[in-house]
């Protein structure tokens, strides 16, 4: 990325570190885990915050770096490259696009849309890569994507609004 300020690099490193900590935490607590892969997406919150703070280009770059670092934080369940694309690269890369969608007061539509895109990507993977029937894949993905979406819809606006004054002071 061209012309990144030191402050932006530090904040991006912070978001990546927070992503990794939350990913490790999620992988360590069985309650958040699904039996055949997938989990409640606590780690998606810093990715969404990064998109809203830095915009979609830098946010997507940060999300793609986070996907690569997922190899460090825990097991990646994928039998082939198509599974990697659908379950990781696309599924988590879309969170960088959240800032493209308008916020309506406390409702951050980007959180809902990016989670819906991840749901579609994961559902397609369930059918095409894992050989699950459509309804089975939809139900399985919904069982962790609905909680992930709710967490994002609640925490992203709260955290972003709480952090906004500090972001302005640091600029």
Instruction: Decide if 126 is inside a domain.
Output: yes
Percent of the chain with pLDDT over 90: 68
Confidence of residue 170 (pLDDT cuts 50, 70, 90): very low
**pLDDT above 50 for 29:** yes
- pLDDT tens-digit profile of 101-157? 999 989 999 999 999 999 999 999 999 999 999 999 999 999 999 999 999 999 999
Write down the pLDDT at residue 146: 94
Domain that holds residue 44: 6-170
Name the average pLDDT for the chain. 88
Give the CA dihedral 143, 137, 27, 19, nearest 10 degrees: -90
Instruction: Decide if 103 is inside a domain.
Output: yes
Q: Which long-range contacts (CB under 8 A, 24 or more apart) does 68-73 make?
A: 69/16, 69/19, 69/20, 70/23, 72/20, 73/20, 73/23, 73/24, 73/27
- Cα distance between residue 91 and residue 85, in whole Å: 8
Which tokens sit at 30? 């069985």
Q: How many domains in the chain?
A: 1
* Residue, of 72 and 161, whose pLDDT is higher: 161
Q: Which long-range contacts (CB under 8 A, 24 or more apart) does 8-14 make?
A: 8/54, 8/58, 11/50, 11/53, 11/54, 12/50, 12/54, 12/58, 12/62
CATH of the domain at 158: 1.10.1760.20
How many residues in the chain?
171
Confidence of residue 65 (pLDDT cuts 50, 70, 90): very high
Write down the pLDDT at residue 120: 98
Instruction: Decide if 1 is inside a domain.
Output: no
Q: Residue 125's closest CA among 145, 106, 109? A: 145
- Give pTM, 2 decimals: 0.89
Q: Residue 97's closest CA among 106, 86, 108? A: 108
Instruction: Decide if 18 is inside a domain.
Output: yes
Write down the pLDDT at residue 31: 63
């Amino acid at each position: 990325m061209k012309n990144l300020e030191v402050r932006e690099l530090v904040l991006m490193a912070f978001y990546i570190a927070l992503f990794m900590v939350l990913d490790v935490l999620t992988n360590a607590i069985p309650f958040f885990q699904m039996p055949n892969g997938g989990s409640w997406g606590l780690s998606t919150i810093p990715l969404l915050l990064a998109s809203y703070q830095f915009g979609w280009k830098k946010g997507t770059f940060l999300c793609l770096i986070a996907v690569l670092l997922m190899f460090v934080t825990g097991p990646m369940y994928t039998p082939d490259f198509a599974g990697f694309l659908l379950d990781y690269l696309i599924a988590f890369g879309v969170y960088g696009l959240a800032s493209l969608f308008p916020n309506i007061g406390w409702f951050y539509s980007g959180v809902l849309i990016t989670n819906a895109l991840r749901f579609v990507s994961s559902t397609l993977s369930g059918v095409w890569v894992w050989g699950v029937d459509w309804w089975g894949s939809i139900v399985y993905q919904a069982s962790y994507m609905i909680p992930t979406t709710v967490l994002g819809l609640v925490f992203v606006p709260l955290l972003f609004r709480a952090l906004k004054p500090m972001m302005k002071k640091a600029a």
